[in-house]
Structure 1
C-alpha cells in the first residue's frame, strides 16, 4: 500500500477536527430534528393509560398438598388468558357501547401478569384520562363477573380501582426531544464526515503530510500585493 494514506481513512483525532469544522451543519441538523419532533408532538394528541388491579384469591383453607398448590399457582396465567379472550372483549365493547374493532381493542386494552405474583393488571389507553379510568374500572368489573361464571368460583376480585392518570404515556417530551438531539447529532456528524471525505482540497501543510505521507520541505507565505 506504500506510505500514501487513503483520503477516506480518517483517524479519531481527525473526526473530532471534522466535528469542530462542520459544527454549523451538526447544529442545523439538531435544530431540524428538534423542530420535526416538536411538530409531531403538536399534531399527535396525548395518550393516557389507566390501570385497574385484580387479585386471584388463595384457597379458603391452607394448602398443604403439592398438586393443589401448583394448581393455584397456575390460576394466574389461566385467568390472564380468560380476560384476554374474545368473550370478554365482546362483553366490554357491548356494555360500554364502544365502536372499537378487535385490533383497536387489543391495542387499547392490555392484561398483564407477573411472575411469582397473584396480581393481574388491566391497562386501558385513551385520549382522555377520565375515560381511560372509566373504561378500565368497568372492564375490570365485567372481567371479574365472567371469570366467576366460567371458573364457577369468585376467586378473582378487584384490588385497586383505576384513577385518571396525570401524565400521558405518549408522547413523552423529555424522552423524544433527547432522542431528537441524538438523531440530529448523528445525522449532522455523518454529513460532516461525508463532506470531509469528498473534499479533496489541500489547505495546509498538515493536510499534505496526512494525505500524501510526504514531509513538507517548505511553505510559500501568502503575500498581499
Structure 2
C-alpha cells in the first residue's frame, strides 16, 4: 500500500514538474523541428540515386540446369568485386570524359546483390539525376565488357538500364523534422528536470502544502516600489 502511494506521489511530482515547464515542452520541440525543416529544404543539397540491374545468364539451347544456377551464384561475389574494382572505375572515368578520378567515381558507386538471386544492382548517387543515370549505365557497360576478359565467361546481361530519378533519396525533410521534434522534446524534458533540481525555492502555497504537508495561514503580497 505504501509503495503504491509512493508511486502515485512520484508520478504526480513528475507531472507537476513537466506542467510547470510546459513552455519548454512546446517551444523547444517546435523550434528544433522548424530549424530542421529549414535546413533540409533550403540548405541541404538533394542527392539522387540511379540504378541499373544485371543478371548472370548462360546462352544455350538446352534447359538451364541446377548446376549452372549454383555456379552463377558462386560467381556473384566475384562479379561484385570486379564491378567495384579500380580497373572498371578507370575505364568508366576515361569513357565518361567528365574530369572524374577513378576514386571519385568509385565513391559514387554501390554494388549490391539481390538476395538468393543471380541479379546484381549497380547504384550511383549524385547531385545531378541525369549524371547519376549516365554513370550507372557506363559502369554497367564497362563491367559487362571486362568480365569476359578477366574470367573468360561471357554471362552478364543488363536487365534494366538506369534512368534519371525523379525524387532525391536525401535529404528526407519529413523524417528529419520528426526526428528533430522528438529529440527536441527529450531535451526539453531533460532541461525541465535539471531546472527543477537546481531550483530550491518555494513559490506558491500549493508547493508548500505539497512539499511540507503544511497549510498556509496567510501570504504577503509583493509590493511594487514607487519612484
Per-residue CA distance 1:53-74 (angstroms, 9 max, x = gap):
1111147354355xx6543320
TM-score by length of 1: 0.82
TM-score by length of 2: 0.81
Q: How does 1:47-62 map to 2 (within 5 A)?
A: 47-58=47-58, 60=60, 61=62, 62=64
In the TM superposition, what is the alpha-carbon distance from 1:107 to its structure 2 partner?
Answer: 3.0
Partner-residue secondary structure (3-state), 1:185: helix
* Residue 27 (structure 1) aligns with: 26
Partner-residue secondary structure (3-state), 1:49: strand
For 2:115 and 2:184, locate their aligned partners in 1 and report how far apart those are by CA, in whole Å: 40
Mark the runs of 5 or more structure 2 residues left unpaired by the alignment.
1-8
Relative to structure 1, the CA distance from residue 142 to residue 102 in structure 2 (aligned partners, 3 Å threshold; closer, same or farther) is: closer
* Residue 190 (structure 2) aligns with: 190
For 2:70 and 2:161, locate their aligned partners in 1 and report how far apart those are by CA, in whole Å: 29
Q: How does 1:75-154 map to 2 (within 5 A)?
A: 75-154=75-154
* Residue 220 (structure 1) aligns with: 217
Instruction: Identify the structure with the greater helix proportion.
Output: 2
For 2:66 and 2:129, locate their aligned partners in 1 and report how far apart those are by CA, in whole Å: 45
Partner-residue secondary structure (3-state), 1:158: strand
Q: How does 1:147-162 map to 2 (within 5 A)?
A: 147-162=147-162
For 2:199 and 2:56, locate their aligned partners in 1 and report how far apart those are by CA, in whole Å: 68
Higher RCO (CA < 8 A, seq sep 6+): 1
Per-residue CA distance 1:26-47 (angstroms, 9 max, x = gap):
3222233123323422122100
Relative to structure 1, the CA distance from residue 192 to residue 167 in structure 2 (aligned partners, 3 Å threshold; closer, same or farther) is: same
Aligned residues: 211
Relative to structure 1, the CA distance from residue 16 to residue 92 in structure 2 (aligned partners, 3 Å threshold; closer, same or farther) is: farther
In the TM superposition, what is the alpha-carbon distance from 1:121 to its structure 2 partner?
Answer: 0.4
Partner-residue secondary structure (3-state), 2:49: strand
Mark the runs of 5 or more structure 1 residues left unpaired by the alignment.
1-9
For 1:48 and 1:56, locate their aligned partners in 2 and report how far apart those are by CA, in whole Å: 27
Whether the 8 Å contact between 2:209 and 2:216 is mirrored in structure 1 is no
The root-mean-square deviation of aligned C-alpha atoms, in Å, is: 2.5
* Residue 6 (structure 1) aligns with: none
For 1:20 and 1:197, locate their aligned partners in 2 and report how far apart those are by CA, in whole Å: 15
For 1:144 and 1:69, locate their aligned partners in 2 and report how far apart those are by CA, in whole Å: 19
Per-residue CA distance 1:138-172 (angstroms, 9 max, x = gap):
22111111112212222011000111111101111
Whether the 8 Å contact between 2:90 and 2:101 is mirrored in structure 1 is no
Q: Determine which of 63, 66, 70 is the counterpart of 2:65.
A: 63
In the TM superposition, what is the alpha-carbon distance from 1:175 to its structure 2 partner?
Answer: 0.6
For 2:107 and 2:32, locate their aligned partners in 1 and report how far apart those are by CA, in whole Å: 28
* Residue 7 (structure 1) aligns with: none
